[in-house]
Amino acid sequence: MSTHTHDSIRAVQWTGTQLSLLDQRLLPHESVYLEMDTATAAADAIRDMVVRGAPAIGVTAAYAVVLAARRAWAADQRGWRAGMAPDLKALADSRPTAVNLFWALARMGQVMEGLPDDQDPEPALLAEAERIHQEDVDGNRYMGDLGAALLQDGRDVLTHCNTGSLATGGYGTALGVIRSAYAQGRVKHVYADETRPWLQGARLTAWELVQDGIPVSLLCEGAAASLMREGRVGWVIVGSDRIAANGDAANKIGTYGLAVLARHHGVKFMVAAPTTTIDMEAATGADIPIEQRGQEEVLELAGRRVAAPGANAWNPAFDVTPAELIDAIVTERGVVENPDVQKMKALFAAD
């Protein structure tokens, strides 16, 4: 069986004229694509969680730069660079933790620098955005095979948040590993944390796995320790929104606790992420900005308050898992086992 089966979902699409995003806030009950023809609309979509997941945000931002260029060129064919500046700033300000966003903007910026002032920038920028998108899908498939090769005991796996096609250009990071492992018979069943407060595990990961025919059971985060104690899982497999130079990894809040539990119970812990997620300028996880989101996300559920009136909430969107709790970081360039600074540098030094 091909290791790249069970792959039917694309959340970020270019229609030929505009950007189309699957509105992940409506899943699993509705599958609605929102059409966008401005970069500010795309920035709002990133901020409002229409699209989420570091790689998907990067791909979305790349296409949004194309939209910004189109608008700026139509307004002023000599001053299109300056005209793009407000849109580029809006994109950069949309989510602070996902380093892929800034990587994609920088890569698109390099293309812009090579263009003459009197040339329509849209065709060249669109070609680059499409390359970024395809490279992400291809890299995820290769990463999936690399990660699957580590799963030798045939036990089930636990994942957290959503790291699949919805969070990437396609196929997924941690879910890409799971897709490949399931196709190879290395995994029979997946456990997915519900992932408070946005319930990405319940609404998105479970939906993806059901869509692609992979058996899944949902659990509350508080049940993870008991799941591990019963020996039901051999690996915890998660993604990351930013990885520091020493291997510390920032991911959806709750990931750090899973790593602590996994170490106590002898369960292996894998982070699967593209190298665009690695920030070698951040020495450790302490240098990674952690997004703080609104209290209402914790105090409310589906728009209805569930907390006692007068209660406040603390709502960091991410936490940092120390490198010493990570057994393997899997990227499209290779696998880093027991990561540290030297091994992370060697990953980038390799051909």
Written as six digits, the tokens of 45 are: 């979509």
Q: How many CA atoms lie within 13 A of 270 on its CB side?
A: 28
Written as six digits, the tokens of 334 are: 């290779």
List for the chain the helix, strand, coil content (%; round to 5): 45, 15, 40
Q: If you write DSSP's letter for every residue of 80-135 in order, what string do you get?
A: HHHHHHHHHHHHHTS-SS-HHHHHHHHHHHHHHHTS-TTS-SHHHHHHHHHHHHHH
Would residue 287 show up in a list of annotated catalytic residues for this protein? no
Tell me how far apart the alpha carbons of residues 108 and 130 are, in angstroms, rounded to a whole number: 11
Q: Which of 156, 193, 212, 241 is catalytic?
A: 241
Tell me how far apart the alpha carbons of residues 243 and 250 are, in angstroms, rounded to a whole number: 6
Q: Torsion over CA of 126, 129, 133 and 136, rounded to 10 degrees? A: 150
Q: Which one-letter DSSP state was computed for residue 239?
A: -
- Cβ neighbors of 90 (< 8 A, separation 6 or more) are 39, 40, 43
Cβ neighbours, 10 Å, residue 208: 28
Tell me how far apart the alpha carbons of residues 287 and 66 are, in angstroms, rounded to a whole number: 31
Residue with tokens 């009136």: 309
118 burial via Cβ count (<10 Å: 0-12, 13-18, 19+):
exposed
Q: Which ranges of 188-254 does DSSP label H, i.e. alpha helix?
A: 200, 206-211, 224-229
Written as six digits, the tokens of 4 are: 């790249």
Active site residues: 241
